[in-house]
Structure formats: C-alpha cells, structure tokens
Amino acid sequence: MTTTQNGEYTSPTNIFHPARPLRTPPLSLLLTAFRALYINLSPWSENVLFWRFFRGRKNAQAEIEGPYYVLGAPFREVDVGSGKAVLATKEMMKENQPFLFTGRVTTTDGEPIPGALIDIWHANTNSQYYFASYTLRGKLHTDLNGRFEILTVAPGGYLGRAGHFHYIVTPPEECGDLNPVTTQAYVCGGNNEKELDGDFANWFRKPRYQNTVQAWSLPSSSTSIDESDRVKSHYSFPVVNTLDAETDEAVKRWNKWLEAEGDGEGVKIEAGGYMGTTLTKKGRWL
C-alpha cells in the first residue's frame, strides 16, 4: 500500500467488485491446507499447546486463528483507501438483513493507524463458512483515521461459541515497530460478554471479554415480523433510538449505497456493532 501526493492511500490492483461470489482456486485451498498444517504444528505460531506462551502474550486481544482461514481472499473495498468494504452478497442481505461492523485500529497510545491491512472472514447467520468461494471473506485497509466499515450479515454461533468475526490486522510498512494481530470480535446476545464463558477456546486462553462487539439495533421500520426482526430478536441487540453522529452518518451513507445498488427491496441497515483493535509494539510481552 502506498501514499499519493495528496495523502490518499492506494491499494493493490487486484480489487474485485464488493461481495462478488468469486470461486476459490484449488491451488489456494491446497496451499491453505499446507499452511494450516505448518502453523498448527509450530510452537511459535498457532499450536494451541504453546500459543498462550508466544503469540498469545503479544496482545491482550490476540486470538487463535482457527481452522477456517483461506489464503488469497480478494479486496472488497467499495472505494480504494476508503476503509469501507462489502462482504455479504445482496441475496444474503435480503435474507438476513445487513449488519454494519465498524472499528478503529490504533496504537497502545490511542493513535490511529491508517493503511492497516484487515483480512477478515466469518460464518453466515446460519453458522456456515464458505470454502469453495470467497463468500464472507475479504480484505480492506483502514482509512486515514484508522477506521473501517464492513457491510455484511451477523455471524451465527456454533459449538457453544458466540457468533464472531475473525480478522488479521497487519500494520503498514511505515509502522514496522508494531506487531500484527490475529483476533476475533464476538457478537453476543444483548452484548452479554458472559456468553464467552462456555467457549471451548477458553481451554487455551482466558475468556476474551474485551473482544465483545458493542452491538446495537434500530427500531424496526417494518410493519410485519420479518427476517430483520428475527435477527435482532435472536441476538437481543440493544435497541437505540439515536446513534452517535459518526455511526449515524455511516448508516445513512450505506443505506443510500444499498438503494443505489438496486434489487434490495427496501433492505436497510437496522443493526451493527463496533470494536476497536489495538496493535502493540514489537519486543513487548504481556
């Protein structure tokens, strides 16, 4: 990622239309399998027996990568360097309603990190991951304020785990003194972090209460019980009548985008959530 003279960020050229259902090349799946074997055997990487002593000590938000990562996910940015991306297809958002996941990447001193690379993947609302295609997988960069906005659907939980977003944050080259981090952002019913107490991942590390998404929902504009209400009821997201100015502006902007895309049949954002991510300095251990 490079910076232009006017301070705007540019991304690599392999940018695809947001949420386009691209097939996963067989070679990517093969390389992913070899990579998974290597990192899960390595004591210094994702081996669950050693993870807490190495990677897990570099960042309080660090998480085990898990078995569902796939190499080669495309960039999903709506506009280059905007920090805004779309993961879910229009069909998914019709069925389950959009969820706006927002966040900000900062240093431990609270300074924003523009141009950080985010590689994100998650299950659909029915708790299913996609492997044959890059559905609900993609990359984007944070904007000049370190923020990102991802339009997708709410992730479903499975095996006693709360629904969650997986993502890897890699700092830009000019921030070479910072560690990358692999983390998960949990979408808990009613924002109740105690849902994480039953997570089997707790066998390998302490519950990550700090990784709970602060979710919200808007009063339904529907006149009947539809999928929008089902999703909000399922998660019991707190209903708010007024969003903060930044989130409110984002929701209005994305709703205009959804309307302009067409075929949405009046689909609008009625739920979302925020979680900040902090990158730590290299050489420091928790």
CA distances from 231 to 151, 173, 216 (A): 15, 40, 12
Instruction: With respect to residue 142, please indicate whether it lies within any of the assigned structural domains.
Output: yes
Least confident of 70-74, 126-130, 170-174, 239-243: 239-243
- Per DSSP, the three-state class of 133 is strand
Q: Domain for residue 89, yes or no?
A: yes
Please tell me which residue, 225 or 243, carries the higher pLDDT value: 243
Strand 181-187 versus strand 163-170 pairing type: antiparallel
Q: Which two tokens stand for residue 198?
A: 């039953």
The total number of structural domains that make up the chain: 1
Report if residue 274 sits inside a domain: yes
Residue 55 in this model has a pLDDT that exceeds 50: yes
Residue 13 pLDDT level (bands cut at 50, 70, 90):
very low
DSSP-derived 3-state class of residue 241: coil
CA-angle at 147, arms to 142 and 152, nearest 5°: 85
Domain at 94, CATH number: 2.60.130.10
The predicted model scores a pTM of: 0.89
CA 88 – CA 124 distance, rounded (Å): 9
Residue 186 has pLDDT above 90, yes or no: yes
pLDDT for 61 equals 97
224 three-class SS: coil
Residue of 24, 50, 275 whose CA lies nearest to 137: 24
Distance CA 17, CA 92 (A): 16
- If you average pLDDT over every residue of the chain, what do you get? 88
Is residue 161, in this structure, part of any structural domain at all?
yes
In a domain, 286, yes or no: no
Indicate whether 284 belongs to any domain: no
Residue 206 lies in a domain: yes
| In-domain check, residue 156 | yes
Q: pLDDT tens, 100-122? A: 999 999 999 999 999 999 999 99
Q: Which domain holds residue 167?
A: 2-279
